Structure formats: structure tokens, C-alpha cells
Amino acid sequence: MSETKMSETQVSGNGALPQINMSKLTVGGGVGGAIFAIATMSIFFAGIPLVRVMFPIALVVGAAIAMAIHFLHHETPSTSRILSAVKK
């Protein structure tokens, strides 16, 4: 018999861990995406009290940065800011 270490993770018979991976959830845009986003935000608001303080601050700082980028952007809006890796 082989000994197993305490730090090793026991997996089920099919090899998958019994956890939900948020990156594997597919949520489209529209009403379903909005419901998912609002539900996720409400869970964080209820579970982490610091989020209730930081969220309004983040909104104000984000809006200020967005306005600064909007008014300081001198190029035409349709041009991409990300340069292509391949020369045309």
C-alpha cells in the first residue's frame, strides 16, 4: 500500500474536483448577464462589509479616470490604441 500525504487533494472517480470554477461559467449579455452581475454584486455587498465603503469610492475614481481619458484623448475616436504586432 502506498502512503498518501495530508496535502494531496483527493479527487472523485472522474478526476474532476467538486468545485465551481467562475471562469467556466458562460454568461451572455442582455438581461441574463445583468441579472448575474447584480446578483454577484449583492453577494459581495452582503458578505464583505469593506466593499460597501470601497465601491462608491471606486465609482468616483473610475469616473474621474474615464473623463480624463475622454477629454485628453486627442486622436480620432475610431483609431485603436492597441498597436498591431504584425506590420501591414
Per-residue confidence (pLDDT) for residue 7, from 0 to 100: 46
Cβ atoms of 67 and 60 within 8 Å: the answer is: no
Of residues 88 and 42, which shows the higher confidence score?
A: 42
Indicate yes or no: pTM above 0.75.
Answer: no
pLDDT digits (tens, 9 = 90+) for 47-75: 888 888 898 999 999 999 999 888 887 66
Residue 16 one-letter amino acid: A
Given this model, what pLDDT does residue 59 score?
93
- The dihedral built from the CA positions of residue 28, 29, 34 and 37, taken in this order, carries a sign that is positive
pLDDT in tens, 2-33: 555 544 555 545 666 677 777 777 767 788 88
| 65: Cα separation from own chain's centroid | 19
